[in-house]
């Protein structure tokens, strides 16, 4: 008699989340037959929309791709357009961009730690349930997030979809007096961030490790954020201009989604980007305070347990706050808020470290500055193959769980990577099919 029991877990998407996705796991008996994560990626739509637009428009347009990381899209777009036009920005402008980016890291990491990830570890179904028991914790997270929010508001002109960013710099740069009030708030938030590292270090992390090749920007002398060279843990290094020589996006055979692509390293395999990759490749350039916090929390030379990514995010939040304070302390306004970026017929490349990992942009321009081609490779598509691999191995070891428990744990495994879809899967219905 056959004891074959086939079951299918389907988690479908909701409308209106920045990235939308669905998870599908098919199990046959004690074997995992299929795991797939379908993600409907906004960049594909924006790539088409950008063609024919002026070279000054991508920072504003691509900021709309994600409500959580608009600065990342703006910075990668600026880098690529400035590369195409052969323009280098004033070092003081580059510092302001780094400060702005620190604000986004603080916001995004804090949101993920407190509202999305911590409830998983503490056994709460949602941040709301956690807040009912531990209002103090959620208040702390919101206060930290607000500190990042204020950086983005002061430099970007508003908290969402900042309007003060342009190719070549900023429309307007702040005076030191305008930045000064931020410092005290960031100092308070830094203490809260250190408390956060100690808090999450006490979580119970499942014993689960991967062997994905990790990929991030590196910028010797500083923790890579707004620029750098691409490097991997297997020793591969290349300039951002060669990104598409090494990273291949391919339509996955199982996907029915029009916009779903998997990124792989050419001639190699899956890879992972994000905080754990960044930390592993940049640890030595953390500030002394952040490095001390990482060490005290038990983070070693690398991070290959995806569940411990929450710990890396907490350390990176410490770093971003520490770095923001340093940048404010040494701030001297640039002579001009921006440099002119005259167009020329060329192709430009740019990459930055979005909170979720490396974000690549490439634009082709004609002599009038009209965009002839656009390519955007977001972090989530780069992590997709690694997430699926994690899920495959993860599910294999937990087939004794019922569907509800298994689905919930799969969602946690996905949330380790903080993809935009993490939010949608948190609330979706489960369909079980048995044959």
Partner 1 sequence: MSAHGRRVVIGVGNDYRRDDGFGPLVVAGLAGRQATDPRLADVDIRVSDGEPTRLIDLWTGAGLAVVVDAVLDDGHHAGHRHELALDALADDYSASSHTISLGSTVALGQVLGRLPGRLVVLAVSGTEFGFGQGLTPPVAAAVPAVVERACELVAEP
Which residues make Cβ contacts (< 8 Å) with residue 206, sequence separation at least 6?
Answer: 305, 307
| Residue 189 C-beta: closest distance to partner 1, Å | 14
Residue from the set 127, 197, 201, 272 that interacts with partner 1 by CB under 8 A: 127
SS (H, E, C) 242-253: HHHHHEEEEECC
Contact characters 143-182, partner 1, x per CB under 8 A: --xx--x---------xxx---------------------
Q: CA-CA distance, 90 to 71, in Å (whole number)?
A: 19
Q: CA-CA distance, 10 to 8, in Å (whole number)?
A: 6
**Interaction of residue 83 with partner 1, rule CB under 8 A:** no
Size of the site for partner 1 (CB under 8 A): 33
**Interaction of residue 115 with partner 1, rule CB under 8 A:** yes
Residue from the set 68, 281, 359, 387 that interacts with partner 1 by CB under 8 A: 68
| Residue 104 C-beta: closest distance to partner 1, Å | 12
**Taking CB under 8 A as the criterion, which residues in 128-147 touch partner 1?**
128, 131-132, 135, 138-139, 142, 145-146
- Would you say 231 and 218 are in contact if contact means Cβ atoms under 8 Å apart? yes
Q: Supply the DSSP string of 351-397, one letter for each residue.
A: EEEETTEEEEEEEEE-TTSBEEEEEEE-HHHHHHHHHHHHHHHHHHT
**Interaction of residue 67 with partner 1, rule CB under 8 A:** yes
**Interaction of residue 126 with partner 1, rule CB under 8 A:** yes
Residue 222 gets which letter from DSSP? B
Q: CA-CA distance, 111 to 240, in Å (whole number)?
A: 29
The stretch near partner 1 (CB under 8 A) out of 127-135, 204-212, 315-323, 370-378 is 127-135
Tokens at 335, concatenated: 């002579």
Contact characters 5-34, partner 1, x per CB under 8 A: ---------xxxxx----------------
Bridge partner list, 10: 24, 431
CA separation, residue 244 to residues 39, 75, 113, 248, 285 (Å): 21, 19, 32, 7, 27
**Interaction of residue 420 with partner 1, rule CB under 8 A:** yes
Q: Which residues bind partner 1 (CB under 8 A)?
A: 14-18, 42, 45-46, 64, 67-68, 111, 115-116, 126-128, 131-132, 135, 138-139, 142, 145-146, 149, 159-161, 420, 423, 426-427
């Amino acid at each position: 008699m056959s004891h074959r029991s086939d079951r299918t877990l389907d988690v479908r998407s909701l409308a209106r989340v920045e990235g939308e996705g669905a998870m599908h796991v098919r199990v046959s008996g004690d074997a995992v037959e299929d795991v797939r994560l379908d993600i409907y990626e906004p960049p594909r739509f924006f790539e088409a929309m950008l063609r024919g637009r002026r070279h000054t428009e991508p920072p504003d347009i691509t900021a709309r791709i994600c409500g959580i990381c608009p600065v990342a899209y703006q910075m990668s777009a600026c880098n690529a357009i400035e590369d195409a036009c052969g323009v280098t920005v004033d070092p003081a402008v580059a510092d302001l961009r780094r400060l702005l980016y620190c604000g986004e890291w603080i916001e995004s990491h804090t949101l993920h730690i407190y509202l999305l990830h911590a409830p998983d570890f503490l056994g709460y179904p949602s941040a709301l349930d956690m807040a009912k028991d531990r209002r103090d914790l959620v208040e702390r997270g919101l206060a930290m997030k607000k500190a990042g929010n204020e950086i983005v508001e002061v430099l970007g002109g508003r908290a969402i979809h900042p309007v003060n960013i342009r190719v070549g710099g900023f429309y307007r740069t702040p005076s030191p007096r305008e930045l000064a009030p931020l410092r005290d708030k960031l100092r308070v938030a830094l203490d809260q961030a250190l408390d956060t590292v100690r808090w999450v270090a006490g979580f119970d992390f499942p014993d689960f490790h991967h062997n994905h090749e990790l990929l991030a920007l590196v910028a010797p002398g500083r923790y890579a954020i707004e620029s750098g060279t691409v490097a991997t843990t297997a020793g591969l290094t290349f300039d951002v201009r060669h990104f598409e020589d090494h990273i291949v996006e391919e339509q996955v055979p199982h996907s029915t989604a029009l916009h779903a692509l998997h990124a792989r390293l050419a001639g190699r395999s899956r890879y992972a980007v994000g905080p754990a990759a960044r930390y592993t490749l940049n640890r030595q350039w953390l500030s002394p305070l952040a490095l001390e916090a990482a060490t005290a929390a038990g983070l070693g030379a690398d991070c290959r347990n995806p569940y411990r990514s929450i710990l890396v995010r907490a350390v990176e939040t410490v770093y971003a706050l520490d770095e923001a304070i340093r940048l404010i302390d040494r701030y001297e306004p640039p002579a001009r808020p921006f440099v002119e970026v005259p167009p020329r017929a060329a192709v430009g490349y740019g990459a930055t470290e979005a909170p979720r990992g490396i974000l690549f942009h490439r634009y082709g321009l004609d002599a009038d500055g009209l965009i002839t081609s656009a390519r955007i490779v977001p972090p989530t598509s780069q992590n997709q193959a690694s997430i699926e691999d994690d899920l495959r191995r993860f599910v294999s070891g937990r087939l004794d769980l019922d569907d509800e428990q298994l689905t919930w744990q799969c969602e946690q495994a996905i949330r380790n990577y903080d993809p935009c879809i993490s939010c949608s899967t948190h609330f979706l219905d489960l369909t079980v099919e048995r044959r």
